Amino acid sequence: MHVIVIGAGVVGATTALSLAERGLGVTVIDRHAEAAAETSHANGGGVTPGHAEPWNSPGIARRLLSRSGSGEPFRIHPHALPGLVGWGLRFLWQSKAERYYSNARHNTRLAVYSGQCLKRLRERHDLRYDQYTDGSLELYFDQAELDHALDLRRRIGDPGVEIRVISVDEVLAMEPALAPVAGRMAGAMLLPLHESGDACAFSSEMLRCAEELGAQIRLGCEVRRLERQGDRVIGVRLDGELIEADAVVLAAGVASPALVRSLGLKLPIYPVKGYSATLELEQAELAPTIPLLDLEHRIVTARFGNRLRMAGLADFDGYNRTIRPDRIQVLLDSACALLPRLADEIRSGRAETWAGLRPMTPKGPPMLGPTRVPGLYLNTGHGSMGWTQAAGSAEILADLLTEKPPAIDLDGLGAP
Ligand SMILES: Cc1cc2nc3c(=O)[nH]c(=O)nc-3n(C[C@H](O)[C@H](O)[C@H](O)COP(=O)(O)OP(=O)(O)OC[C@H]3O[C@@H](n4cnc5c(N)ncnc54)[C@H](O)[C@@H]3O)c2cc1C
């Protein structure tokens, strides 16, 4: 059986390896010359199954209004409003309590399974992607926020992720870099199963391993359209070339909806822009080692060797990929507030800045598996969790394509 995977971001590259490991013929195609050149390129780096709930928890409309603006974590750009209305209404509709908790359970189930798959991948292959596998800290500067987060977790139910509430002293013992802000901190959650790593390096590792198993890697090739015979998708059309396959897996991130529109499929994916800044550290001893999530500023940090990644923000800006200086400033100011000893380095102008578009569904969970078009499978719409959910999503696609029952219930995770 020959399978084409469209997209060599973290989702597509991992899928290519899972399929190759099952002995399938695989061709992975990406329009860029390198793996992970789009949303997987410089994301927050967190593999965080204990924090996989969608963003639209009950009360999201109020929170969006109160924390939206040029200096805030969220920003809705007026020009994007016409394209946002339909998706936005569905996003708000899904925030109703029973829908939200159900979506959160689906997303978390996949993320937890994915964490297990990632560990097994490391056992099977020698992977190097600046991984850190000793947990993460979620920092709260407001007791009410911490109580709210715990209540949310309780309502989602036990996802199989250990969460320990720890004191500020315990935080400092684990992460001395936080000493300057300890006085303001209300508490933290330690999530021992969490990990971090460079998703871009990981994606390249996935392609390397897939290629060693015989996969064809076609970088720098744009899929112009899916090729059909009757109702069935039989391959993809590149410039001047048809590649035929028994099945096509769409893992094209925010480009996924455009590729299947002509087949009558409407994928509800909105590109929610986020930003990151990556600093080559001069004073590495002042920087945190453990991955952090700062719930006050809504930013994350992760260490990749001597580099510090800072990421966050959610802009509704359509498909505009511009790195807006004012938004980078918000990210850097937030990072300085969390890590004041590093402020001079962070503000030095040395950090490499980046913006990427999260392929977000209004429900939260991605879309996995067969579509109503024979031969076409989805592995897309992972929103803010693509790195966290990549390994599990890949295994699920490999199960479905080899007619094995997936290891987890796919309720709430299927194609629309
Ligand atoms: C600021 C920020 C921080 C984030 N932090 C985290 C985090 O800490 N943890 C986490 O789990 N997730 C995080 N995410 C989300 C995560 O990065 C995404 O969910 C993930 O990268 C999506 O991967 P993907 O492979 O689906 O998409 P992409 O990485 O965008 O890959 C899609 C690929 O398809 C290719 N493609 C598209 N169309 C075509 C075509 N026609 N022909 C050929 N190739 C095509 C593209 O070139 C691209 O390489 C973050 C996102 C952002 C923006």
| Cα–Cα distance, 97 to 109 (Å, whole number) | 18
> 337 is written with which tokens?
């507030």
Rounded CA-CA distance 287/308 in Å is: 7
User: E strand or H helix at 315, and its extent?
Assistant: strand 307-316
Relative to the CA of 11, which ligand 1 atom is closest? 25
Does pLDDT of 159 surpass 80?
no
Ligand 1 atom with minimal separation from the 389 CA: 11
Give the atom of ligand 1 at the shortest distance from the alpha carbon of 252. 34
Question: Mean pLDDT throughout 91-115?
Answer: 96
Backbone φ and ψ for 52, nearest 5 degrees, come out as -100, 10
Residue range 381-392, pLDDT digits in tens: 999 999 999 999
pLDDT at 68: 82
| C-alpha of residue 267 to centroid of ligand 1, in Å | 16
Q: Which residues are CB-contacts of 82 (< 8 A; sequence separation ≥ 6)? A: none
Each domain of the chain, given as residue ranges in start order, spans 1-58+95-130+195-266+364-416
In the predicted model, is pLDDT for residue 307 greater than 80? yes
CATH class held by domain 1-58+95-130+195-266+364-416: alpha beta
- Of the pLDDT bands very low, low, confident and very high (cuts 50, 70, 90), residue 341 is very high
Q: What burial class does residue 222 get, using C-beta atoms within 10 Å of its C-beta: 0-12 exposed, 13-18 middle, 19+ buried?
A: middle
- Could you read off the pLDDT of 126-152 as tens digits, one per residue? 999 999 999 999 999 999 999 999 998
**Distance from the alpha carbon of residue 208 to the mean position of ligand 1, in angstroms:** 18
What confidence score (pLDDT) does residue 64 get?
84
* Segment 63-81, tens digit of pLDDT: 888 888 888 899 999 999 9
Give the pLDDT confidence of 312-328 residue by residue, as tens digits: 999 999 999 999 999 99
Question: What value does the mean pLDDT take over residues 190-198?
Answer: 97
CA of 387 to the centre of ligand 1 (A): 8
In this model, does residue 100 exceed pLDDT 90? yes
Count of C-beta atoms within a 10 Å radius of residue 98? 8
Q: What share of the chain is helix, strand, coil (3-state, %, to 5)?
A: 40, 25, 35
Angle of helix 10-21 relative to helix 199-212, nearest 10 degrees, comes to: 30
Q: How much is the pLDDT for 157?
A: 83
Unique residue bearing structure tokens 């990749």: 304
CA-proximal residue: ligand 1, atom 19 (nearest) = 386
**Distance between CA atoms of residues 367 and 330, nearest Å:** 32
For ligand 1, atom 15, name the residue with the nearest CA.
384
At a CB cut-off of 8 Å and minimum separation 6, what does 61 contact?
92, 95
Q: Whose CA is nearest to atom 50 of ligand 1?
A: 43
Query: How much distance in Å is there from the Cα of 203 to the middle of ligand 1?
Result: 10
Q: Calculate how far, in angstroms, residue 144's C-alpha sits from the geometric centre of ligand 1.
A: 33
